[in-house]
Structure 1
């Protein structure tokens, strides 16, 4: 087990940010935290990478405290609302973070060059970050998080503000990193992102509301089928298998049957607990 969170509470004065949260991340797994604004996702993530300390409960990363310096060298973090240093080049941002993380000069140069090539930043390597697009800045941040070759990558809303093409590029990169066996914790507001990337999802709103794989959550909370009748253009909500068979038999042209999306389930569950 890479990360283990046990009964964690975090307070800001009288405000409860995290309430008795327990969760875990296995090796080679992408785990996503979903929840509305103010749900405590970023607070929890900051405790996992050691910026904050729980008021109650315990967090272990690689079987050690998250604040342990040795643990920090095994992590790469892309915080929320952060940009690389605008007055440095792409190359310098990645190289100097590598040095700060304890890499030798030779190893930092080697890792920087490899990441610039892998993340398709060759044409931008000598450009100042302040002159880059949002997507290129985000790729630079991810390269900075990866420069020490971490076993655990933590990404707090890494695609917020990106256009659809840039979001897909980040998705493809994360999928390729997962294939290498890296473990990842991802917070996101995008339901399609969690459904596409995550092995398991924790839906939190101060505390854990639901946990499971995207498919298990859809199966458990799907109380209807969505039938799209392409001949008439109608979209029908149908409850139960018998009723579904009747509707399908009545359609003369092409049709599609879908379970509710993860987004629809999310909205229903959040509505019930807020």
Structure 2
């Protein structure tokens, strides 16, 4: 059963972040509601990580407002309600998998019984139970990343900030994380996601912001495709050829095809490259 949520969890309003003469974020406005995943897409150096660090309270904005869960992101009571996966972070190497999860749950304010229960649940969902007594320093890079995801989720946060969450994971592990995030979305969790995987954004995101210091474009994946697509892709499976056909010519073109074919808008990756290159 799907539920409809309409409570705003995050509101970023005309946000600026400057370092002397360098502008990292320029007049950025965005929001995240309950039960939705919002993706930030942009090239390296576009200000994505700078933006999310302000959202979870590691950096202060130069100008503008951020409201998270009804408060300011640097307030302790607000931090305890968030789950965060920073881009450059590793678990505590001298603790076991289980202890990493348990101690972060306690730091987030969970009582002992709730912490223990949540730890067992997260380890099962992320396929970490068999490694619960393994010292974290002995884990592979992918498993450390999976543990970080667990540490972000163990306090059952209302808002989850994910900065490149699936970097280093194999395709099967990525799919497992996707399924977990989608299940959390159905429970009403809100998520702000940065990723370089365009298929990840297209698969998970309800809305997407193209960011290159400032917001270049925003909308659902289908809205962005419709806005920036001047043609359709037509794949003729009988010949293996792909054609690029203008919208006003598509009906006449497909009428001449025999056998199996597919008509689709260009991929989000193609549109992303077009938008970002035009802005550069």
TM bucket by the smaller chain? over 0.9
Aligned to 1:168: 175
Of 23, 33, 56 in structure 1, the residue corresponding to residue 30 of structure 2 is 23
The alpha carbon displacement at 1:120 in A equals 2.2
What does 1:233-272 align with in structure 2 at a 5 Å threshold? 233-241=240-248, 243-272=249-278
Aligned to 1:37: 44
Runs of 4 or more above 3 Å deviation: none
- SS at 1:65's partner residue? coil
Q: Which moved more, 1:79-88 or 1:41-50?
A: 79-88
Deviations along 1:233-253, one digit per CA (max 9) or x if unpaired, are 211100123x21222122222
Aligned to 2:88: 81
Of 98, 113, 116 in structure 2, the residue corresponding to residue 109 of structure 1 is 116
Distance 1:190 1:145 in 2: 20
Aligned to 1:63: 70
Number of matched residues? 273
Distance 2:102 2:266 in 1: 45
Work out whether residues 126 and 177 of structure 2, in 8 Å CA contact, stay in contact via their aligned partners in 1: no
The alpha carbon displacement at 1:161 in A equals 2.3
Structure 1 segments unaligned to the other structure (5+ residues)? none
The alpha carbon displacement at 1:191 in A equals 0.9
- SS at 2:11's partner residue? strand
Work out whether residues 125 and 180 of structure 2, in 8 Å CA contact, stay in contact via their aligned partners in 1: no
Distance 1:161 1:112 in 2: 23
| 1:228 partnered with 2:232 | no
- SS at 2:156's partner residue? coil
The alpha carbon displacement at 1:148 in A equals 1.5
TM-score, reference length from structure 1? 0.96
Of 140, 161, 165 in structure 2, the residue corresponding to residue 158 of structure 1 is 165
Deviations along 1:150-190, one digit per CA (max 9) or x if unpaired, are 11111000012222122111111111111111111100011
Distance 1:254 1:141 in 2: 45
| 1:90 partnered with 2:100 | no
Structure 2 segments unaligned to the other structure (5+ residues)? 1-7
The alpha carbon displacement at 1:117 in A equals 2.2
Deviations along 1:102-125, one digit per CA (max 9) or x if unpaired, are 222333222212222232211011
Root-mean-square deviation over aligned CA pairs: 1.2
Work out whether residues 91 and 148 of structure 2, in 8 Å CA contact, stay in contact via their aligned partners in 1: yes
Work out whether residues 104 and 151 of structure 2, in 8 Å CA contact, stay in contact via their aligned partners in 1: yes
Work out whether residues 145 and 167 of structure 2, in 8 Å CA contact, stay in contact via their aligned partners in 1: no
The alpha carbon displacement at 1:271 in A equals 1.1
Aligned to 2:216: 209
Distance 1:258 1:237 in 2: 10
Q: Which moved more, 1:125-134 or 1:1-10?
A: 125-134
